[in-house]
Chain A
């Protein structure tokens, strides 16, 4: 139809740009309002009100915070390694947003006779009607989440301050310990799905109206993955890299202004990504009643599931205190890792007998 560029119809490019914009804006807005929701929810859980005075019930608070951070003075410590110091927040932020490219957030919608799969890095082959996406989607996400920690380590090292360095070191040690268990938890999902493509994984969970979700087939893996993910994105109870009581503010102690805001955005964007990934792998992605009939309903289901998990993260933050460093290591290496290994073995044995 119409003009073709590099053998693909014009509509393909328009749809691609539109999808990127929608996904980017969704993450950006959710990041802004996740900060507000977090303060509000934790406030009410502590029988307080949270922000109330900027706009109706404090609704303009994220905008006020953003403006304030934007106009703050930029401070670069005189002994800091300037280039690494400046590049670190970018390294932390960019992978956090890039991860969202492979997550399917809806079924296939039809706009002006052209079918568009709601996943940024995917397209539909018109001839065969098959949806193609990154066939190693989960590996891509694991790679991106590992890249994000370089930002934190670099920030800690480049600041030339002992608190920052401690924060950075803690972040790397924590990430290595927990990424292992998270990866092994996902492996047990692969053993069921036989594919790494996220689109395929979602499609396989569409059976039995929700009972086909992998959380019912792999409850232990879902549990492990979610715990390890919370540890990977440095949220309470695993927020040791920035433990305020011990390390001032950890890796971002020396940061100010927009650079500090970028670390904050990265942290929240990572939370959204992890919740979206948990939704995709274990909660059936955009699947739900009538989602295949009305593709936009799938989008609603996806957003609802992601927001529920984000709420769960905040709920955990309001409930649990921070782990001690040795407890963190003990939990990662002596509890979660053996359990996830056993889970793989059990999945393998059961999968061998029930085929």
Chain B
């Protein structure tokens, strides 16, 4: 076995890589383009100035991480609505089952991925914070 040729071949490969365009993303300055079906932060869809959610409890039931808390309420028209809708982002595994389970298409996932925060309380996303902007 000639030991020199593989080394020379390896040196050639590394030299050719020296002239390639680096793949590094200069993160805070450059941001990645998230894919269309990226599963990031949740958002509650809004229709006629109200959340579309009807508090059917399908999403907390299907959620494998048990991170969604829903409490139903009755509005002025005697319709069921989510009086409380909270997602614990520290538990969420971003599987998207809640979106699949929703019968009224009231919840979706956005491309938002910068969820870092300073305190644990801030990771509990309340209904107000989740409403679609």
> Which residues of A line the B interface, CB within 8 A?
41, 43-49, 52, 315-316, 318-320
The reply to whether B18 and A316 contact each other, CB–CB distance below 8 Å, is no
B76 within 8 A of A: no
Q: Which 6 A-B pairs have CB atoms at the shortest separation, nearest pair first? A: A49-B24, A319-B10, A319-B14, A45-B14, A49-B22, A318-B14
CB distance from A224 to the nearest CB of B (A): 13
Please, which residue of chain B has its CB at the minimum distance from the CB of A44?
Answer: B18
Give how many B residues have a beta carbon under 8 Å from the other chain's beta carbons. Answer: 14
A319 to B7, CA, bound (A): 8
**How many contacts A-B (CB < 8 Å)?**
36
B91-115 with Cβ < 8 A to chain A: none
The reply to whether B23 and A316 contact each other, CB–CB distance below 8 Å, is no
B116 within 8 A of A: no
Of B7, B10, B15, B20, the residue contacting A47 (CB under 8 A) is B20
The reply to whether A47 and B17 contact each other, CB–CB distance below 8 Å, is yes
B26 within 8 A of A: yes
Of A48, A49, A315, the residue contacting B15 (CB under 8 A) is A315
5 pairs, CB–CB < 8 Å, chain A vs chain B? A43-B22, A45-B18, A47-B21, A52-B26, A315-B15
| Residues of chain B contacted by A52 (CB below 8 angstroms) | 24, 26
Please, which residue of chain A has its CB at the minimum distance from the CB of B11?
Answer: A319
CB distance from B48 to the nearest CB of A (A): 48
Please, which residue of chain B has its CB at the minimum distance from the CB of A42?
Answer: B14
CB distance from B7 to the nearest CB of A (A): 7
Of A44, A315, A320, the most chain B CB neighbours within 10 A belong to A44
A214 to B65, CA, bound (A): 71
The reply to whether A47 and B14 contact each other, CB–CB distance below 8 Å, is no
| Residues of chain A contacted by B20 (CB below 8 angstroms) | 44, 47
| Residues of chain A contacted by B10 (CB below 8 angstroms) | 319-320
| Residues of chain A contacted by B7 (CB below 8 angstroms) | 319-320
CB distance from B1 to the nearest CB of A (A): 12
CB distance from B23 to the nearest CB of A (A): 5
CB distance from B16 to the nearest CB of A (A): 9
Please, which residue of chain A has its CB at the minimum distance from the CB of B28?
Answer: A53
The reply to whether A44 and B22 contact each other, CB–CB distance below 8 Å, is yes
Please, which residue of chain B has its CB at the minimum distance from the CB of A335?
Answer: B3
| Residues of chain A contacted by B13 (CB below 8 angstroms) | 319
CB distance from A221 to the nearest CB of B (A): 16
The reply to whether B22 and A315 contact each other, CB–CB distance below 8 Å, is no
CB distance from A324 to the nearest CB of B (A): 14
CB distance from A335 to the nearest CB of B (A): 9
| Residues of chain B contacted by A48 (CB below 8 angstroms) | 22-24
A333 to B20, CA, bound (A): 39
| Residues of chain A contacted by B11 (CB below 8 angstroms) | 315-316, 319
A318 to B13, CA, bound (A): 10
Please, which residue of chain A has its CB at the minimum distance from the CB of B19?
Answer: A44
The proximity string for B residues 10-54 relative to A, scoring 1 for CB distances below 8 Å and 0 otherwise, is 110111011011111010000000000000000000000000000
Of B14, B17, B20, B26, the most chain A CB neighbours within 10 A belong to B14
| Residues of chain B contacted by A41 (CB below 8 angstroms) | 18
A319 to B13, CA, bound (A): 8
A340 to B27, CA, bound (A): 52
Please, which residue of chain B has its CB at the minimum distance from the CB of A237?
Answer: B7
The reply to whether B17 and A315 contact each other, CB–CB distance below 8 Å, is no
Please, which residue of chain B has its CB at the minimum distance from the CB of A312?
Answer: B11
A318 to B12, CA, bound (A): 11
| Residues of chain A contacted by B22 (CB below 8 angstroms) | 43-44, 47-49
A45 to B14, CA, bound (A): 5
CB distance from B10 to the nearest CB of A (A): 5
The reply to whether A46 and B15 contact each other, CB–CB distance below 8 Å, is no
A319 to B22, CA, bound (A): 17
Please, which residue of chain A has its CB at the minimum distance from the CB of B26?
Answer: A52
CB distance from A211 to the nearest CB of B (A): 24
A45 to B11, CA, bound (A): 10
The reply to whether A47 and B23 contact each other, CB–CB distance below 8 Å, is yes
| Residues of chain A contacted by B21 (CB below 8 angstroms) | 47
A52 to B23, CA, bound (A): 14
Please, which residue of chain B has its CB at the minimum distance from the CB of A317?
Answer: B14
Please, which residue of chain A has its CB at the minimum distance from the CB of B12?
Answer: A319
